[in-house]
Structure 1
Amino acid sequence: MVRQLRWVGTASLAVGLTLGMGGCDRAEPGNPQKDEGPVVALVGEGRITRQQFEAKLAEQPSFVRARYSTPEKKKEFLDNLVRFELLVQEAKRQGLDSDPEVRAMLEKVMVQRLVKAHTESAAGATVSEDEARAYYDANVSEFVKPPRVRVSQLLLKAARGSPERAKALTQAVRLSTEIQRGESVPRAFDTAVRTHSQDTATQPQGGDLGFRTREELIAAGGEALADSAFALKAIGQLSAPIETETGIHLLMLQGRQVGLDQRFDQVKARILQRMESERRAKALDSLVQSLRDKTQVEVKDDVLAQINPETVAAPPSPTAAEPLIP
């Protein structure tokens, strides 16, 4: 009985084929394949049909396919399929289809096919535009962010209109001059903060306020403080003394984050991809859990404890002397 050949996708069998071809479909005894059209070549008990030949040719890049327009070149292409099938049949005769390494590779391919088929067919795996927009609206802070600055402050407390106000302003001017006179302005500022700042919440951290938006700085110290912070351009730049209701501030710029304003249309494709990926992962988790629920799984902790990952030898790599298929 003539049997149909199987396309073989394993890397170990495909190495060295100039066209990177697989074989053809092969039916198992008692499980005949449907007719796939005219036969191009018979190889032992196998056959290569026109449909299979064309399918394999279609896998090649267009510039490669163009090389096989003449009868001679088409025979050359077919010869590669025949050569591959001859090797597959010989490998099976030698029992290599039962080799542990081959079976392990086959198991990997089967699991990949199972995961792909299950996740792609999972109900609700495709995300609609309305669902993507709802995700955008619920997570708008991820896509729309105001600019932020990170500043450190030296605060001299003195309420507006109090006798201490003028003294605090004079001291701030003096400290600013001393800080900028040093070789390292950031280091001098940090020392001044730890010595003179009266903001007990930030003084131990060198006055670091962290990243703040303009609105957050207005809430913390007023518009004058926010304006001065966002006016700083260079990292390590020191502000002039700033008057607020609380007192006199000196600010130093530590960092800046640009704003982000991504509209839904700009991120729709990314959201769709993310949501579909999450749904496929959830479908796979559900499949694995359902299999666990109906399958007994027993872990041998005593054997597991004896395994030392540091002493496990890596599998040998192919040697240069190993013959390649021309």
Structure 2
Amino acid sequence: MAAALMLLQACGGRAGNETSGVAPGETLVARVGDGAITARAFKAKLEEQPAFIRSRYTSLESKKEFLGGMIRFEVLAQEARRQGLDQDPEVKATLEKLMVQKLIQKQAAAAGTVSEAELKAYYQDHLTEFVRPERVRVGQVFLASARGDARRAQVQQEAARLLADARRREAGGDTRAFGELTRARSDDAATREVEGDLGFKTREELAAQWGAPVAEAAFGLKSVGELSEVASERGLHLLKLLARQPRQEQSLESARARIENRLLQEKRSQGLDAFTAALKQKGEIRIDEQALDAVTLQGDDAGNARTVP
């Protein structure tokens, strides 16, 4: 339906008025009843086709073949109007949709372009999206014992035994050893039930949460599954490397197309919202809440909802 309406417009306008859409002195390639197809419309429709199809229509005979398709459509369009189908509610609704789409496209074009200053500002404001430092994900068994605690030496010995046991079991293929140890012994209630998983953290985040020694030890682990022990002001930490994310840095140039597209979409959306709001203010809009409230939905036999006045 939409394609048909657009083609009809290209063919020279509404039949019944052969000058509609035809400029004075413009060349006609065909008269179709009381309508006309201009050379301009014929060329435009031909240029819409892919290059390999256009190459087929260079001779007079091939052009007549292509024109035949346009004439066929025009006579069908004229007959449809003769039968009053141009007043059909579905046709009118489709035409309205096309008009609204065209208006939205027009407003989108009016949004303009994205400036270099806007690109740079967006990049700097969202730098964490494009530049991410190295992060590690570690599991932890935390044995609480502040420095100076009388039990500190005893806890250190326990940590050494637990680490040796975890290494032995995991070397033997028991991949659940560290998780079981965490649930049985870790003093960090927040991560005990998730096998001590601290999630992905930067060096600075780990240092802020658990202290610099823990951060250095975590980032010192080289291979996934490697275990280590480190002491901090708060106690003893058994660490297991679960994953590592290398530093990622995307320059403004490499992110330019993505940023430009995002900003352009935002401009178009904001422009359309403002345009629509202005139209609403100029227009006279009244809502009949009583009539609106009276519209109810009920299920039909297929279980689908339908509107009932």
- Please say whether Structure 1 and Structure 2 have the same fold, judged by a TM-score greater than 0.5: yes
Question: SS in structure 2 opposite 1:67?
Answer: coil
Q: Deviations over 1:134-153 (max 9, x none)?
A: 11112211111112222221
Change (3 A) 1:258 1:66: same
Q: How far 1:312 moved relative to its partner?
A: 4.5
Q: How far 1:128 moved relative to its partner?
A: 0.6
Work out which of the residue numbers 305, 315, 320 in structure 1 matches 2:296: 305
Write the distance in 2 (CA, Å) between the matches of 1:47 and 1:12.
16
Q: How far 1:59 moved relative to its partner?
A: 0.6
Write the distance in 2 (CA, Å) between the matches of 1:136 and 1:52.
45
Question: SS in structure 2 opposite 1:35?
Answer: coil
Q: Number of matched residues?
A: 297
Task: Tell me if structure 1 keeps the 8 A contact 2:8–2:77.
Answer: no
Q: How far 1:198 moved relative to its partner?
A: 2.3
Write the distance in 1 (CA, Å) between the matches of 2:8 and 2:165.
76
Q: Deviations over 1:134-183 (max 9, x none)?
A: 11112211111112222221112334576534432322232234335278
Q: How far 1:256 moved relative to its partner?
A: 3.7
Give the AA of the match of 2:104.
Answer: V
Work out which of the residue numbers 228, 238, 250 in structure 2 matches 1:240: 228
**Residue 85 of structure 1 corresponds to which residue in structure 2?**
74
Q: Which runs of 5+ in 2 are unaligned?
A: none
**Residue 89 of structure 2 corresponds to which residue in structure 1?**
100
Moved more, 163-172 or 274-283: 163-172
Task: Tell me if structure 2 keeps the 8 A contact 1:23–1:84.
Answer: no
User: Structure 2 matches for 1:111-150, cutoff 5 A?
Assistant: 111-122=100-111, 125-150=112-137
Is 1:62 aligned to 2:45, yes or no? no
Task: Tell me if structure 1 keeps the 8 A contact 2:18–2:35.
Answer: no
Is 1:266 aligned to 2:221, yes or no? no
Moved more, 97-106 or 253-262: 253-262
Moved more, 225-234 or 67-76: 225-234
Write the distance in 1 (CA, Å) between the matches of 2:5 and 2:103.
22
Question: SS in structure 1 opposite 2:201?
Answer: strand
Task: Tell me if structure 2 keeps the 8 A contact 1:193–1:207.
Answer: yes
User: Structure 2 matches for 1:310-325, cutoff 5 A?
Assistant: 310-312=303-305
Q: How far 1:79 moved relative to its partner?
A: 0.8
**Residue 10 of structure 1 corresponds to which residue in structure 2?**
2
**Residue 52 of structure 1 corresponds to which residue in structure 2?**
41
Change (3 A) 1:63 1:232: same
Q: TM-score, normalised by structure 2?
A: 0.83
**Residue 17 of structure 1 corresponds to which residue in structure 2?**
none
Q: Deviations over 1:191-216 (max 9, x none)?
A: 32232222344435543323210122
Task: Tell me if structure 2 keeps the 8 A contact 1:23–1:85.
Answer: no
Write the distance in 2 (CA, Å) between the matches of 1:84 and 1:297.
42
Give the AA of the match of 2:163.
Answer: S
User: Structure 2 matches for 1:172-211, cutoff 5 A?
Assistant: 172-180=159-167, 181=169, 185=174, 187-203=176-192, 205-211=194-200
Write the distance in 1 (CA, Å) between the matches of 2:159 and 2:152.
11
Question: SS in structure 2 opposite 1:152?
Answer: strand
Q: How far 1:120 moved relative to its partner?
A: 1.6
Change (3 A) 1:164 1:21: farther
Q: How far 1:238 moved relative to its partner?
A: 4.6
Q: TM-score, normalised by structure 1?
A: 0.79
Q: How far 1:36 moved relative to its partner?
A: 6.7
Change (3 A) 1:256 1:92: farther
Task: Tell me if structure 2 keeps the 8 A contact 1:151–1:254.
Answer: yes
Write the distance in 2 (CA, Å) between the matches of 1:185 and 1:226.
26
Write the distance in 1 (CA, Å) between the matches of 2:53 and 2:177.
68
Work out which of the residue numbers 260, 267, 277 in structure 2 matches 1:279: 267
Q: Deviations over 1:236-293 (max 9, x none)?
A: x251222333322112334444432111111122212111110110111112222333
Task: Tell me if structure 2 keeps the 8 A contact 1:228–1:242.
Answer: yes
